[in-house]
Amino acid sequence: MQPIHHHIETPDLTFSLYEWGDPDGPPLLLVHATGMNARMWDETIKYLPQDHRILTLDMRGHGGSQWRGHLLDWSIPGHDVAMIIERLDLESLIGVGHSMGGHSMLQAAIKMPDRFERLVLIDPVIFSPDFYASASEHDGKNPADHPIARRRNHFQNWQEMFTIFSSREPYSNWKEPVLENYCRYGLVDNDEGSKSLACNPETEASVYMGHKSYNPLPLASDVTMPVKIMRAKTGPKPEAGRMDFSISPTWPELASAFPNATDLFLPELSHFIPMEAPELTAREIMLG
């Protein structure tokens, strides 16, 4: 089952988008997390009904949507998702987003609620009101100084990346085909004849630094469509300067901010819910 690969031209970059299923079926758009790519949804899509039009987007600066810059402002990916929905003229949409992708999908639903049937937000990195009230715009000033910016950025091929990551947490907990697609579609050719990360480490670092920059909670009460929030296990807040992807960053009471939301707590899973449990993810998407 191979998707059709589309390219959508915009003034500042060309977006990469993949399409499965029935082109005339009800649309379902899936948006990935920071540092990931559109093809990481392949395993989830195996369990989705193919009478839907299933679309996955490479976000700005990720996968095939090549762009080098800083994303300290989280309204930018939200704007991108809304723009793609409008360009494709999607209606009665099931919008699914993981982590930053969930945050961005919610922003799109706030802007154009009439285009959505419902939302599935998978650990969407939306914090408590108190957190936003006390937060500065972003952590630090220069993404190049963030630890993520110093991650390894050169590999001979995707197989080398797969071999290295397959024995390292959190990647070792992912389903093998998901990790393979993370590596296969998460690298681009570089000038040295090898491969570099499609999501440049400095760009990735800037996304993490900007996670406080856009607070959607004041507008959540206006989102009247059904919303499902899937949350991973909780735990103590990481020490300053440390990132812990094993626990959920999402406000546990997030569902209470919406008029019509349900909360699904998954304590057996980490923040990487679709990577660890693609069949469960697909089932919950379709259950509504």
What does 215-231 look like in DSSP terms, one character per residue? --HHHHTT--S-EEEEE
CATH of 4-287, one of 3.40.50.1820, 3.90.1150.10, 3.40.190.10, 3.40.50.11600: 3.40.50.1820
**pTM exceeds cut of 0.85:** yes
Cβ atoms of 93 and 29 closer than 8 Å: yes
How is residue 23 written in tokens? 């082109």
For residue 224, the model assigns a pLDDT of: 98
How is residue 148 written in tokens? 């993520």
**Residue ranges of the domains in the chain?**
4-287
Cβ atoms of 13 and 67 closer than 8 Å: yes
pLDDT beyond 80 at 139: no
Per-residue pLDDT of 60-90, as tens digits, reads 999 999 999 999 999 999 999 999 999 999 9
Chain-centroid distance, C-alpha 196: 20
Per-residue pLDDT of 228-238, as tens digits, reads 999 999 987 65
